[in-house]
Amino acid sequence: MKPALPHSLRTTAAAVAVSLGAASLLFFHPAAQGESPPTAAFWLMLVALAGAALWTIRRVAAIHGTRFDGILTAALFGLWVLYFWQMLVVVFEVPRVLLPAPSLIVQSLVDNPGKLWGDFSQTVLKAVCVGWLLGSGLGFGVAVAIDRLPFLQRGLLPLASLTSTVPLVAVAPIAVMWFGFDWPSKAAVVVLMTFFPMLVSTLAGLKSSGKLERELMHSYAASYSRTLWSLRLPAATPFIFGALKVNATLALIGAIVAEFFGSPTVGLGFRISTEAARMNMSLVWGAIVVAAVTGSLAYALLVQLERRAAFWHPSIRGK
């Protein structure tokens, strides 16, 4: 049995529904479709809708207690931004070069599935996936390997931390010279960019197990590898997943920017730079939508994976 909604919640829900309904009705007004010049009545309705949009966002933001209220406000806000972007771009006849309407971007996504899928598989499935797995794997492997060599750790850690201040993506032209124009050179850039965050995080994670637990393992006469496997690696999982998440974004950036330096005629970065030069902006936006969705999906996937893998850890349990 659902508890009856409180009065204020019901008005808010009704207001959201009514304003969204009015908004979708206004969307089919000839002026909003770019078929006739906007009339005074149309402007009046648009301004009224803007007021309603602000008011509903405020109302929804004021809701306390439900599980999704945080996401709800952001979603409603995003929806309204998209809506007014669409309406204003059409009504003011903003040139497509400046800012295409969202409907045009969706149109370009629908019209070029083959092209964008090719770019996606070139950049994401090949360069990013291979580079991300190799870079993160190598970082992890090296961290575990030098775990018993404090000398190497003391030498490597400062250098590895310094690399975060260096624009590593600038090695792209060298990678192109060594590995050719195709995806291996992009994967190489990604490997370099993802290696150091993983190395630093894993080393920090391996040190994160508590003194009590380590002494317990010691009193069990557990061997080094047993302690590593049963205590220290599990304790490092949140750190490792943290690096995996950071690396997912870094890998996408690295692969896309590396394609700006030269690539075969396929790939998200190539698409973005060449179509921008040809002023075909709706396809550029389409490619960016693909990249953005990929980034957020990868992140969400890793968060879910982390919850499965480290469900016992206090940082996850609290959520």
The binding site for another protein (CB under 8 A) comprises: 57-58, 60-62, 69-71, 73-74, 76-78, 95, 97-99, 151-152, 154-156, 158-159, 162, 164-167, 169-174, 176-178, 245, 248-249, 252-253, 256-257, 260-262, 268-269, 272-273, 276-277, 279, 281, 284-285, 287-288, 291-292, 295-296, 298-299
Q: How far apart are CA 241 and CA 306, in angstroms?
A: 6
Q: Which is nearer to another protein, 86 or 274 (CB)?
A: 274
Q: Which is nearer to another protein, 32 or 268 (CB)?
A: 268
Q: What is the DSSP letter of 39?
A: P
Which residue shows structure tokens 């008011």?
Answer: 55
Cβ burial 74-102 (10 Å sphere, 16+ → b, else e): eebeeebeebebbbebbbeeeeeeebbbb
Q: Tell me how far, at minimum, the Cβ of 86 lies from another protein, in Å.
A: 18
Q: Tell me how far, at minimum, the Cβ of 126 lies from another protein, in Å.
A: 16
Q: Which is nearer to another protein, 5 or 149 (CB)?
A: 149
Q: Which is nearer to another protein, 1 or 277 (CB)?
A: 277
Q: Tell me how far, at minimum, the Cβ of 234 lies from another protein, in Å.
A: 26
Instruction: Return the half-sphere exposure (C-beta side, CA atoms, 13 A cut-off) of residue 174.
Output: 7
Q: How far apart are CA 67 and CA 189, in angstroms?
A: 41
Q: Tell me how far, at minimum, the Cβ of 269 lies from another protein, in Å.
A: 7
Q: How far is CA 176 from CA 87, 163, 192, 247, 264, in A?
A: 44, 21, 14, 21, 11
Q: Tell me how far, at minimum, the Cβ of 113 lies from another protein, in Å.
A: 19
Instruction: Return the half-sphere exposure (C-beta side, CA atoms, 13 A cut-off) of residue 241.
Output: 21
Q: Tell me how far, at minimum, the Cβ of 27 lies from another protein, in Å.
A: 22
Instruction: Return the half-sphere exposure (C-beta side, CA atoms, 13 A cut-off) of residue 153.
Output: 15
- H or E element at residue 196: helix 183-206
Which pair of structure tokens corresponds to residue 280? 């075909």
Which pair of structure tokens corresponds to residue 272? 């973005």
Cβ proximity of 138 and 191 under 8 Å: yes
Which residue shows structure tokens 């693909």?
Answer: 290
Q: Which is nearer to another protein, 212 or 277 (CB)?
A: 277
Q: Which is nearer to another protein, 16 or 176 (CB)?
A: 176
Q: Which is nearer to another protein, 25 or 152 (CB)?
A: 152
What is the separation, in whole angstroms, between the first and last Cα of the chain?
Answer: 26
Q: Tell me how far, at minimum, the Cβ of 133 lies from another protein, in Å.
A: 18
What letter represents residue 318's amino acid?
G
Q: Which is nearer to another protein, 17 or 303 (CB)?
A: 303
Q: Tell me how far, at minimum, the Cβ of 275 lies from another protein, in Å.
A: 9
Q: How far apart are CA 184 and CA 263, in angstroms?
A: 11
